Structure 1
Amino acid sequence: MMFQLKKSMTLATGALVAASLLLTGCGASSTSGTTGTAEDPVTIRFAWWGNDARAKTTFEVIKAFEAQNPGIKVKGENTEFSAYWDKMATQIAGGDTPDVLAMSGSYPSEYSSRGVLLDLEKVKDEIDTAKFAPGTVELGQIDGKQYAIPAGVNSLSMILDPAVFKAAGVELPDDESWTWEEYQDLSTQISKNSPQGTFGTSPMANDSFLAVWARQGGEPLYTEDGTKLGISEARVAQWLEMNLELQKSGGAPSASQTVEDGSAQPEQTLLGQGKQAMKVSWSNQMNSYSGNELAMMKLPGESQSGGAWLRSSMEYGISAKSKNTAAAAKFVDFLVNSEEAGKLIKSDRGMPVNLEVRAAVLPLLKENQQKEAAYLDRIADMKLTAPLPFPAGSSATMEVLNRNMTDVLFEKAAPVDAAKKFIDEVNLNLAK
C-alpha cells in the first residue's frame, strides 16, 4: 500500500481542507512578477539547509529546472542546519529574504505570523497539489491559510544496528509491544556486553520527540491555542530522569560524549561508526548514518492513542516580498511535482508527497531508504491524528530543552527542577 495520511488525520484537519483546495482550484491567479524569457530571464533565490551531498543534488535539480524554464534563473544558497535559522533571521531583518526558503518545525508559524511568507492562494495556478497524498497539503497550512508546501514526509523512528545487537548477544525487540523500560534494559545490557566505547543508545533532545513523549502520555506538547505548553512538569521530568538513568547505568555515554555526539555529522556519530545499537532519529536520516545494514522500528510505547505521526520533513515557502512570485511558485511546483527532480532528490527531504513522484522514486531507493518507505506506511496505518503545527514563539523550544537536559546529564540540576525551568522558560517565549 502506498503511504498516505489516513482519513482520521484528514478529519482532524477538516476545517483546513477547503483552504487546501484553493491550490488546485480554478480561477484567476493573482501572481505578481513575471517568469522572464530566455533573452531576459528573471533571477530568484532559493535557500535551504543541509550537507554537501544535499547541496550537490539541489544544484543538479536547479540545473534541470533552468533547462526546462529558460526564462528563470535560480541562485542556490546552502547553509548548515546549525547556522541556517540565524542566517534567515539576519536576511529577513535586513529585507533580503530569499524568494523561496526551506522551513520546518515552528518556523512556518513564526514567519507567517510576522508577514514573512506569501499566502500561496495568490499563486494557486502555479502550484499543483492534485496528486499529493491525502492530508499532506494541510501540513503546510497555518490558521486555515496555505503558507508552505511539504517537500516530503518523515516521522520519528528508532534506528537500530543489528550488528551491534548480534555482537552483544542481544535479540532485536518486538516493536509492536516493547516499552521504554525494555528500551532502557536493552541499552544497558548491550553496553555491558560490548567493547568499551560502544553503547546501547544515546539521549534525544528534540522538541518533536518531546511531542511524541507527551502524546504517549495522553498530553499535547502545546495547548490548542498555542499560548503555553500542554505537557506537564511530571511528564518532562520522567523523560529527563530516564536519560539520566541510562547514563548512570552505562546504557548511554557520558554527558560530555553525549554533547559531542549530538553535534557530530551523522556519519561521525556513534551510530555512524557502528558503536551504538539504537538511536531515536528522523526516518529520512537513516541512510546518512552508516553503510551498515540498519533497521527501522517504531518507538517504544507506541499505540493507537498517540505517538509518532507523519509530518513534513521540510517545507517550501515563498517570501511575501518577492518580486517574482510567479517564478518562485513555478520552481516550488517543479521541486515537488517533477519526476526528474524527484529522481534526483529521492528521499533526502523525506518521502515525496506527490504519489506519482513517489512511485517513480521507489525503485531507485537504496535498501535503507526502502525500509523508510515501509516504515512510513506502518505509521500511516496507525491512523494517528497529527498535532497542530508548533505555534509562533516555539522556535527556541529545542534549544531550551537541550540546555536543561544537558544540565541534568552533567548533574547540575535535578530532573524535576530542570523540568520546571524548561516549562517556565518556554511559556515565557510563547507569551511574547
Structure 2
Amino acid sequence: MTAAVLALTACGGGTSGQEADGVVELRFAWWGGDKRAQLTQDVIAAFEAENPDVKIRPEFGDSGPYWDRLATQVAANDAPDIIQMDEKYITEYSSRGALLDLSKYKIDTSKFDPAALQSGTSEDGLTGLPAGINAPTILANPRVFEAAGVELPDDATWTWADFGRIAAEVTAKSPQGTYGSAAYGGDEASLGVWLRQNGKSLYTQDRTLGFEAPDIAAWWAFLKELREKEAVPTASEVVEAEAATLDQSGIAVGTNGFAFRWSNQLPALEKAAGGDLEILRFPSRTGDAADTQLWYKTSQFWSASARTKHPEETARFINFLANDIKAGEILLAERGVNPNSGIRTATESKLPSADLKVVKFIDQIKGELGAAPAPPPKGAGIIQEIIRRYTVEVLFNRLSPEEAGQKAVDEMKAAISD
C-alpha cells in the first residue's frame, strides 16, 4: 500500500485508548514522504510483533499541514501519543507543558551523543529524544570544478577568503550561468556557523537572540562582496533558486560548484546530480578545522504528549525506535545519521554509499565540534523566513546590510519575546 493511500486512512484524529481485548492503542504522528511512511510502517510492524499488547495507529502527511494539525490537536487536548518533533518547535511545545519528560521512563540514552541529547533537554526535562543527527556542510560538485580546471579545496585548512577566491575563479572559468557557489542566506545554518566563528550564537540559553544587528550585517556584507566578485548568482537568480526543488538546485544540475546544505541532504542531491558530490567542512576565519565551530543538529526528535494515557507503553515504543537494532536496520539514515553510536556501528554495512559518506563525515568532525548550541526559543519558527526575506532585500540593494541587520534583529527579538 502506498503512503498516499495510507495517509488517507491515517490522518484522522481521535483519542488513544484501550481496546476491548486489553490491547493498548497509541497514535504516532510524523511528517515526510512516501519512503519515510513505508519504512516507519515497517518499524511499527516490527514493534507490534514483539509487543502484542500494543497497537500503533499512524497519522502522517506533508510537513506544512502537519504543524497546523498538531497545533489544533494539542489545543483540543487530542494530541497523538508519539510525536515526531522539530527543533524549531520543541521549546514552544515543551514550555506549554505539552510534551512528556522522557527521562522519567525506561529509555536508554547511554549511547547518544551528549550534545544531541542536550538539544532535546530543558528545564521541562528530556522532551525530545534525537531521531537523527546531521551537520551544516558545504557540498561540492566535482564535475563543475573539473570543467573549470579548478582544484577542490582542502576543507581542513581553507578560510572564508579562500572560499570567495575559489568560487569567483570557478565562475570566471565556467559557461555563463554557472557560478562557483550558490548564495547563502536561505537558512539559519550558515548564519549560525558565521556567528559561532565570531564568538556569537543564534540564541542564548536564556532564550534570547545571541547576536546584534552589526553581527548579521557583517554576514550580509560578505555575501554582497561575493556577488560583486560574481562568485554567487545574481539577486534574481537567487530568488529563482529559492523556489527550485532539491533535484533542480544548482548543485544538482551542475550550475553551482558549492552549495550550503545540511549533511543529510547529500544522498538525495547525489541521486539528482547523477554522480558523486563531495562533502566539505565550512571555511573558518583561521584556516584551522578546529575553529570551524560545527555542531550536530538533531534532524528530528521522538517526543510524546504529556497527556498520553499510556506513558509507559509510549516510552516503550520510543525506546524501541531509539535502541533496537531491528528499528535501526529498517530506518537506516532516513531521518539523518542514527544518533545511537551502537546502532550506527551495527548498521553501517547496510547503508547505501551516499549515506555511508555522510556517516563518515559525521564521525570525522566529532573532535572538532563546538559547544552545543542553545535550542531555539518559543517563536523561533519564523526566524528563517525573516533571514530569507532580508537577504533578498540586501541582494537587490533595497537595503544596506546595516539597515537590513537592524530591521531583521528588531523583528526577530519581537518574534521570540512574545
Query: 1:293 corresponds to which residue?
Result: 276
- Segments of 5+ residues of structure 2 without an aligned counterpart are 1-14
Q: Secondary structure at the match of 1:328?
A: helix
2:335 is the counterpart of 1:349: yes
1:175–1:298: 8 Å Cα contact kept in structure 2?
Answer: yes
Q: How does 1:147-186 map to 2 (within 5 A)?
A: 147-186=127-166
2:187 is the counterpart of 1:206: yes
Query: 2:3 corresponds to which residue?
Result: none
Give the TM-score normalised by the residue count of structure 2.
Answer: 0.87
Q: Secondary structure at the match of 1:200?
A: strand
Q: Which one of 201, 209, 231 corresponds to residue 251 of structure 1? A: 231
Go from structure 1 to structure 2 and tell me whether the alpha carbon gap of 1:393 and 1:34 turns closer, same or farther (over 3 Å shift): closer
2:19–2:25: 8 Å Cα contact kept in structure 1?
Answer: no
Q: Secondary structure at the match of 1:235?
A: helix
Give the TM-score normalised by the residue count of structure 1.
Answer: 0.85
2:282–2:292: 8 Å Cα contact kept in structure 1?
Answer: no
Q: Secondary structure at the match of 1:213?
A: helix
Q: Which amino acid aligns with 1:117?
A: L
2:91–2:375: 8 Å Cα contact kept in structure 1?
Answer: yes
String of CA shifts for 1:336-379, please: whole Å, max 9, x gaps: 11212211211221221222211121111222222212211222
Query: 1:5 corresponds to which residue?
Result: none
Q: Which one of 89, 98, 101 corresponds to residue 80 of structure 2? A: 98
2:92–2:377: 8 Å Cα contact kept in structure 1?
Answer: yes
Query: 2:6 corresponds to which residue?
Result: none
Count how many residue pairs are aligned between Structure 1 and Structure 2: 397
1:244–1:409: 8 Å Cα contact kept in structure 2?
Answer: yes
Q: Secondary structure at the match of 2:302?
A: strand
- Segments of 5+ residues of structure 1 without an aligned counterpart are 1-32
- State percent identity of aligned pairs: 36
The structural deviation recorded for 1:295 is 1.0
1:154–1:284: 8 Å Cα contact kept in structure 2?
Answer: yes
1:295–1:368: 8 Å Cα contact kept in structure 2?
Answer: no
2:204–2:374: 8 Å Cα contact kept in structure 1?
Answer: no
Query: 1:3 corresponds to which residue?
Result: none
Go from structure 1 to structure 2 and tell me whether the alpha carbon gap of 1:67 and 1:367 turns closer, same or farther (over 3 Å shift): same
Query: 1:7 corresponds to which residue?
Result: none
RMSD across aligned C-alpha pairs, in angstroms?
Answer: 2.4
The structural deviation recorded for 1:306 is 5.6
Query: 1:330 corresponds to which residue?
Result: 316
Out of 195-204 and 108-117, give the one that drifted further: 195-204
Q: Secondary structure at the match of 2:87?
A: coil
The structural deviation recorded for 1:97 is 1.9
The structural deviation recorded for 1:213 is 1.1
Query: 1:277 corresponds to which residue?
Result: 257
The structural deviation recorded for 1:303 is 4.6
Go from structure 1 to structure 2 and tell me whether the alpha carbon gap of 1:80 and 1:203 turns closer, same or farther (over 3 Å shift): farther
Q: Which amino acid aligns with 1:90?
A: T
Q: Which one of 35, 47, 50 corresponds to residue 68 of structure 1? A: 50
Go from structure 1 to structure 2 and tell me whether the alpha carbon gap of 1:41 and 1:256 turns closer, same or farther (over 3 Å shift): farther
Query: 1:43 corresponds to which residue?
Result: 25
Q: Secondary structure at the match of 1:296?
A: strand
Question: How many angstroms apart in 2 are the aligned matches of 1:237 and 1:428?
Answer: 18
The structural deviation recorded for 1:153 is 1.6
Q: Secondary structure at the match of 1:280?
A: strand
1:141–1:147: 8 Å Cα contact kept in structure 2?
Answer: yes
Q: Which amino acid aligns with 1:401?
A: I
Question: How many angstroms apart in 2 are the aligned matches of 1:222 and 1:133?
Answer: 21
